[in-house]
Structure 1
Amino acid sequence: DVEAMKAKIIAHPQYSNLLEAYMDCQKVGAPAEVVARLTEARQEFVARQKSSMTSSRDASSDPELDQFMEAYYDMLVKYREELTRPLQEAMEFMRRIEAQLNTLTSANGAPIRVFTDDKCDGIGSSEDDQDNSGGETELPEIDPRAEDRELKNHLLKKYSGYLSSLKQELSKKKKKGKLPKDARQKLLNWWELHYKWPYPSETEKVALAES
């Protein structure tokens, strides 16, 4: 029975942690007001759950459900980490841009703020980190040329394997050589006649090869 299974899941001791992990996924990248609503909803659920707890805590006689709840919780935790990583990388990139702009315009007065602290909510940083920052982030001065070199080296390191394999594929194709001019012209003529469906059948392929 579906309803009975739902009731067992909700009554499971791990359900509160499962719900928290799910809401943490929803908080990633969400506006501050959405994060506040999600936090409030979970607190209300925990309060209701505590008030409705019975002495049946020892009735956990379903190892399969225990395993499911634990696996689902671990999956949600990993999913949140995957969601958080690109946002953290984007924030780090924006901090570098902000530092570069401040370096270039340091003689013109107040520092530039590309984003404020309230835009950093929900991206996986802990409350302790936010408290210790004092609302401001100390940004080191960055040499734009050094930053360009670092970016180029990063991209080259990341895609060097792909580029080398692509180069090998291109060199293989070059070794095969080009079609003779007459054969190439016959193919072009065939494509012009069959432009609505330029995919030859097996019989047509044989005829083109023989011609």
Structure 2
Amino acid sequence: MVSDEAAGSSDEDGSGGEADVQDCSRINEDRELKDKLLRKYSGYISTLKHAFSKQKKKGKLPKEARQILLNWWNIHNKWPYPTEADKVALAESTGLDQKQINNWFINQRKRHWKPSENMQFSVVDSLYGPFFMND
């Protein structure tokens, strides 16, 4: 035989049932709200999805602009850090924003420029002084 305590009381079953009913009610309300919003704004959502799918990546800079930047790069390949005046002039001649000019030079230096060893030592010496001192 099983006692009433081992089987559980009827009070415990009732409290769990109320919570389940509230959860179901909340889920149904959420679903109704979602359906209502989708009906009302589905046209806008599909338009936004279409617009975002077109805007993935703008792509490369115009060929003429890249050529102007590369010409500057080739002339100044030992120290490819344009001054602010250079950046303004390059922006005017290429039709690009200064931010685009800056980014192009940052990427170009990372990908294609390695300072010579002499230059690295001279930069370090100018920052910290000569490594070896004469006695």
Could you tell me the TM-score, scaled by structure 2's length?
A: 0.28
Larger radius of gyration: 2
Give the number of the structure with larger relative contact order, counting CA–CA contacts within 8 Å between residues 6 or more apart.
1
Could you tell me the TM-score, scaled by structure 1's length?
A: 0.20
